[in-house]
Amino acid sequence: MKTVVLPSGEKVPAFGLGTWNIGDDPAARAEEIATIRLGLDAGATLIDTAEMYGEGRSEELVGEAIAGRRDEVFIVTKVYPHNASRNGIPAACERSLKRLKTDRIDLYLLHWRGSIPFAETVDAFAALQKAGKIRHYGVSNLDLGDMQALWKIPAGRAVAANQLLYNLTRRGIEYDLLPWLRERKVPVMAYSPVEQGRLMTDGKLAGFARRHGMTAAQAALAWLLAKEGVIAIPKTGRRDRLKENLGALEHPLVVAQLAELDRLFPPPAGPQALEML
């Protein structure tokens, strides 16, 4: 399994498991748990979730899926902006720990920027880290201006990742934000790597995939896996789809293929507003 190095030097899988909307349908629960466990067996041991996902249902499902295997897993979860205060973060963290059935979160992220000052949020994160409740902290959906503001705060420079919307059709971060993060060795966690499934039916990508002996989903994921310091977190609750996604690891893209994708899905020519889903 390809890995990405966190600022601390710790290595984590470059292919993780997203859980948005997983846990919402009781009829799908057994298959979703089996899918997560299959991912762990394959080395996809980074699992991304959030207190927002199903108002805790995804965290509960993750907790059930990793029972007996906690030490194999790198858990990422996220706190709502309105909970990201000095007193709100510890309480939200305790609720997430209870749902996940664990004593620590490996990476705790601010889900997006809200009205609570960054300094208060990162101080609360640092206190949780000191208490052993979380191992690393980071952010999600922060643009370049947000990151520059965060970097002015000493504790803000300890962020371990920025989780962002990033795929072949959402390349805006490449113009300025991604280079800024790379310079500071802050990894990107790419959510919606297949654009909520829409890339799987994109004609241009389908043609590319056929020419190179892979599926469209595998091509989209392989493109991200070729990027330095990027962690892809495709979401699926089905074992067959997970097996397909994992196939991207067997199709590393060469320079000519990456150039072809650049022609099909051009990089940004100038700065763009940060996109979110």
CA angle 57, 47, 216 (to 5 degrees): 105
3-state secondary structure of 90: helix
53 in active site = yes
Torsion of CA 247, 252, 253, 254, to 10 degrees: -150
Q: What is the CA radius of gyration of the chain?
A: 18
Q: Is 228 left (phi over 0), alpha (psi -120 to 50) or beta?
A: beta
3-state secondary structure of 233: coil
**Sign of the CA dihedral running 97, 100, 103, 106:** negative
Instruction: Give the neighbor-by-neighbor strand order of the sheet with 46-48.
Output: 17-18, 46-48, 74-79, 105-110, 134-140, 162-165, 188-191, 230-232
Q: Encoding tokens for residue 180?
A: 């800024």
Options 53, 137, 166, 191, the catalytic residue? 53
Regarding beta strands 74-79 and 105-110, do their DSSP bridges make them parallel or antiparallel, or are they unpaired?
parallel
3-state secondary structure of 13: strand
Which residues, 6 or more positions from 47, have their beta carbon under 8 angstroms from its beta carbon?
16, 17, 19, 36, 39, 62, 66, 73, 74, 75, 76
Distance CA 219, CA 200 (A): 9
Residues noted as catalytic: 53
